[in-house]
């Protein structure tokens, strides 16, 4: 099943120019599923970077705008999109020219994968 999901994610990722990888992690940044190319920057897929997102969304919820769904960070060379799929976090790593709108539109395709992985996390 994991191989099938990985294959599916590879197909999704290859359709977007400049997308280096998609990772599914838990809230501590522990990777559950990782589909990355060699060009993906190492620090962006490390647990300490991903777990910072959880801290950020906790702070974001204090702004009074409701639950944080997505966080987009734009750096000089890379763009990181993180989606809150409680209890999971989905991280997309892309280059500076990548089409963010296309990444955000992937949410509907990512949802079924996230919900099936979420079941395994809650079981553990």
State the Cα–Cα distance between residues 98 and 79, nearest whole angstrom: 8
Task: Select from 3-11, 43-51, 53-61, 96-104 the region that touches other proteins (CB under 8 A).
Answer: 96-104
Q: Measured between alpha carbons, how far is 77 from 41 in angstroms, rounded to an integer?
A: 10
Per-residue contact flags (x/-) with other proteins for residues 36 to 75, judged by CB under 8 A: ----------------------------------------
Is residue 118 at the binding interface for other proteins, with CB under 8 A as the rule? Answer: no
Any bridge partners for residue 23, and if so which?
A: 34, 91
What is the three-class DSSP state of 91? strand
Stretch that binds other proteins, among 25-33, 36-44, 99-107, 111-119 (CB under 8 A): 99-107
The footprint of other proteins on this chain (CB under 8 A) covers a number of residues equal to 11
Among 103, 96, 102, smallest CA distance to 39 is for 96
Q: In the set 103, 113, 114, 117, which binds other proteins (CB under 8 A)? A: 103
Q: Which residues contact 8 (CB under 8 A, 6 or more apart)?
A: 113
Of 96 and 115, nearer to other proteins (C-beta) is 96
Count of C-beta atoms within a 10 Å radius of residue 50: 23
Q: Does 30 help bind other proteins (rule: CB under 8 A)?
A: no
Q: Which residues of the shown chain bind other proteins in the complex (CB under 8 A)? A: 16-17, 79, 98-105
């Amino acid at each position: 099943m994991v191989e099938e999901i990985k294959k599916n994610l590879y197909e999704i990722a290859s359709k977007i120019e400049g997308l280096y990888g998609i990772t599914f992690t838990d809230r501590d940044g522990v990777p559950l599923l990782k589909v990355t190319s060699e060009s993906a920057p190492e620090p962006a897929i490390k647990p300490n970077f991903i777990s910072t997102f959880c801290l950020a969304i906790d702070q974001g919820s204090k702004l009074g705008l409701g639950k944080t769904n997505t966080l987009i960070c734009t750096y000089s060379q890379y763009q990181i999109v993180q989606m809150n799929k409680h209890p999971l976090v989905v991280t997309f790593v892309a280059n500076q020219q990548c089409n963010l709108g296309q990444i955000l539109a992937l949410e509907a395709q990512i949802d079924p994968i996230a919900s099936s992985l979420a079941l395994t996390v809650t079981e553990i």
